[in-house]
Chain A
Amino acid sequence: MNNILQLVWLIPVLPLLGFLINGLGRKQLTKSLSGIIGSGVILISFVLSVVVFLQIGSNHNETIHLFDFIKLNAFKITFDFKIDQLSALFLLIITGVGFLIHVYSTAYMHDEDGKDFAKYFAYLNLFVFSMLLLVMGGNYLIMFIGWEGVGLCSYLLIGYWFRNTDYTNAAKKAFIMNRIGDLGFLLALFWLIAVVGTVQYDELFTAANLAKLSAFDVTGITLLLFVGATGKSAQIPLFTWLPDAMAGPTPVSALIHAATMVTAGIYMIARSNVLFSMAHQTQVVITIVGLATALLAASIAIKQNDIKKVLAYSTVSQLGFMFLALGTGNYVAAVFHVLTHAFFKALMFLGSGSVIHAMGGEQDIRKMGGLHKHMKITSFTFLIGCIAIAGIPGFSGFFSKDEILAGAFAHNPYIYALALFAALLTAFYMFRLYIITFTGSFRGTHEQEHHLHESPKAMTIPLIVLAILSIIGGYIGVPESLGGSHHLGKYLAGVIKAEAHHLDHTTEYMLMGLSTGLVLLSIIYAWMRFKNYKIEGESKGLGKVLENKWYVDELYQMAIVNPLKSTSAFFNKIIENKIIDGAVNGVGKLVNYGGRQLRWIQSGQVGAYVLLMVIGMLLLFFIQLFL
């Protein structure tokens, strides 16, 4: 039994191998070969993950020690992989959804040059490798390595079309935002090392070591960890990079938004649930930030006209829900939502990629419409994704979102009301997107209409698989009130000490009925409002604010970027030019000036030299005799 788990290092190493082969051989490999290598390694990883998943069962966990990473006297950080229920579940999501996205990419990126194509797959594999490292790491440092790797890969992939300045700017933005968060994570690590002396999960989460932490330590560490999570998982105030990350190729967006990267923050907090449960102030902060992000992003999504932007803000909003669940101590629900969200968000991103592919690169939904006639599979699977995210009973999103909402209700009814409102907005903007894009009549040019076609099989098959998963994915967590037994909660019980919320079944039925009814109403409203969609003029008032994303980017520009720029300009002008350059040039000038003055001594008259010599000698005599 242990033998197979000893080989668990193959899971991340295979994508790394794929990265190396594709990256180094990008000029030699043909497109189909690099596609096969890129997808193949992930497939093998997926198979291994399934094996690991089966091996680990629901009551087993294992720390696989590979080698010592850092050794300083008593302090030691080892390179370990921690395989338990939580990481096994994430392994499945990452490699499974990741594999589908790789397959999809082979078709989507087909127009790229062979060299760029291989480069793309190399980055994609590196991305998966970093994410696997993040999830499998047996201590926070290994997680941090993966954490940084994911940030790097997102930079590389968002800026994949690096010849476009806007895209590279978006990539830089993502990287810098992530770095801000990373700093928080790093400080939390130092704090942990300083107080407890270990970052190993197994050692850290023991009663003896946890007792070393004062209440202040716990609050500080968890808050810093949360800062890290806001960067990676795009929460207020560091969420603005995620919508801009749409600059990358669509499958990359799917990978970032669904399977990897943004779930890292959720994973990290779920992994440290012991710490977070000890820090109630932090939980309050997380709840507020999660809720605010969910509402803010959902309100922005209503008014966006770029198909990918809508989905991006939807991701931010859904991540807000997950953080709300984490903040209310409902870790299982958060992980559950990560799982279902991975399915339907990957589905919708890949679906939007299929639409963009058919439209020849057009992303503006105002120029689409009536696409259902032309691309039935995409349309149908996209609809399933919308239903799933909206939370119609029977689909995966319903179960996970309802669990979050129920947890929120148990915590505080006001939080529940706001979260429910955000959920209604979700249903509204998703169906707005669907109705405008796929129903009605086509609003683009004739050329585009002629070009419309269903995407190739490599793109539609992942869509179908994800659509099926979006439907059935929720049944692993059917709550007890609906006659299920919440397999997921039981499965994760070993890792996550659930703070069970106790609601009687009648209340739960009421909440479900309420949310379902309101969601249906908002869908119907969306249908009424957008079935005869015509391109609207500039909106006014609140609509304009929403269209401009609450002016958050402008606010950051004004409050942070511009002051920084003017400070830099000041330092450049005064400190750099005047003081530093002044000192350096001053020394040069002084020597130059002194030399020019002393030159007159060098008269060329032998007599003058001799006179100077004599004067010098007399001076020496004088010094010697009288001083």
Chain B
Amino acid sequence: MDIKSYIALALTLFTIGIIGVLVRRNAIIIFMCVELMLNAVNLLLVAFSKMHALSTAAKASVNYASDAQIFVFFIMVVAAAEVSVGLAIIVMMYRNVHTVDVNFLNRLKN
């Protein structure tokens, strides 16, 4: 498939993520949007890797062509760990202030 489709999809997902982070105030939604952005980048990485592996230049050194595929798995593992930490923070936040509205957390102001 043409690489442009992948790029368009990843860009769309990333933009949705950014807009979500900017406009929503619910911490869980923001968190999900952050994940969306992360995975958009992941998708792009995989797509580029595939494209690279098919290119003529990489044919000579085929051994390294699919490294990024594995790399993405690592990222997903780290992201999963990060999600657990992030969710834990949100749970603690809810226990303390009984809300998940991020605009409530503006005590650092001034």
Interface residues of A (CB under 8 A from B): 599, 602-607, 610-611, 614
Q: Is the CB of A603 within 8 A of B22?
A: no
Of B102, B106, B107, the residue contacting A603 (CB under 8 A) is B106
Which residues of the partner chain A approach B106 to less than 8 Å between Cβ atoms? Answer: 603-605
B95 interface hit (Cβ, 8 Å): no
Q: Is the CB of A603 within 8 A of B109?
A: yes
For A602, A605, A606, the residue with the greatest tally of chain B CB atoms inside 10 Å of its CB is A606
Q: In the complex, what distance in Å separates the CA atom of A602 from the CA atom of B30?
A: 20
Q: In the complex, what distance in Å separates the CA atom of A352 from the CA atom of B23?
A: 102
Which residues of the partner chain A approach B25 to less than 8 Å between Cβ atoms? Answer: 607
Q: Is the CB of A606 within 8 A of B105?
A: yes
Which residues of the partner chain A approach B22 to less than 8 Å between Cβ atoms? Answer: 607, 610-611, 614
Q: Closest residue to A607 on the B side, CB-wise?
A: B22
Q: Closest residue to B34 on the A side, CB-wise?
A: A610
Q: In the complex, what distance in Å separates the CA atom of A599 from the CA atom of B110?
A: 8
Of B18, B30, B108, the residue contacting A604 (CB under 8 A) is B108
Report B108 CB to chain A, min CB distance, Å: 5
* Chain B residues within 8 Å of chain A by Cβ, number: 14
- B13-39 near A? 1/0 per residue, CB < 8 Å: 000001001110100001000000000
Which residues of the partner chain B approach A602 to less than 8 Å between Cβ atoms? Answer: 109
Q: In the complex, what distance in Å separates the CA atom of A610 from the CA atom of B105?
A: 14
20 contacts between A and B (CB under 8 A): A599-B110, A603-B106, A603-B109, A604-B106, A604-B107, A604-B108, A604-B109, A604-B110, A605-B106, A605-B109, A606-B30, A606-B102, A606-B103, A607-B23, A607-B25, A610-B18, A610-B22, A611-B22, A614-B18, A614-B22
Q: In the complex, what distance in Å separates the CA atom of A614 from the CA atom of B14?
A: 12
Q: Closest residue to B30 on the A side, CB-wise?
A: A606
- B58-75 near A? 1/0 per residue, CB < 8 Å: 000000000000000000
Q: In the complex, what distance in Å separates the CA atom of A14 from the CA atom of B110?
A: 75
Report A154 CB to chain B, min CB distance, Å: 67
Report B86 CB to chain A, min CB distance, Å: 14
Of B103, B108, B110, the residue contacting A607 (CB under 8 A) is B103
Q: Which 4 A-B pairs have the closest CB atoms?
A: A604-B109, A604-B106, A606-B102, A604-B108
Q: In the complex, what distance in Å separates the CA atom of A607 from the CA atom of B18?
A: 10
Report B38 CB to chain A, min CB distance, Å: 15
Report A84 CB to chain B, min CB distance, Å: 86
Q: Is the CB of A607 within 8 A of B102?
A: yes
Report B3 CB to chain A, min CB distance, Å: 18
Q: In the complex, what distance in Å separates the CA atom of A602 from the CA atom of B110?
A: 8
Q: Is the CB of A605 within 8 A of B103?
A: yes
Q: In the complex, what distance in Å separates the CA atom of A573 from the CA atom of B84?
A: 67
Within B64-109, the residues touching A (CB, 8 Å) are 102-103, 105-109
Which residues of the partner chain A approach B102 to less than 8 Å between Cβ atoms? Answer: 606-607
Q: In the complex, what distance in Å separates the CA atom of A8 from the CA atom of B36?
A: 99
Q: Closest residue to A610 on the B side, CB-wise?
A: B21
Which residues of the partner chain B approach A604 to less than 8 Å between Cβ atoms? Answer: 106-110
Report A286 CB to chain B, min CB distance, Å: 80
Q: Closest residue to A614 on the B side, CB-wise?
A: B18
Q: In the complex, what distance in Å separates the CA atom of A77 from the CA atom of B30?
A: 84
Q: In the complex, what distance in Å separates the CA atom of A614 from the CA atom of B21?
A: 10
Q: In the complex, what distance in Å separates the CA atom of A605 from the CA atom of B101?
A: 11
Report A606 CB to chain B, min CB distance, Å: 5
Q: In the complex, what distance in Å separates the CA atom of A485 from the CA atom of B110?
A: 102
Q: In the complex, what distance in Å separates the CA atom of A259 from the CA atom of B105?
A: 89
Report B37 CB to chain A, min CB distance, Å: 11
Report A622 CB to chain B, min CB distance, Å: 16
Report B104 CB to chain A, min CB distance, Å: 10
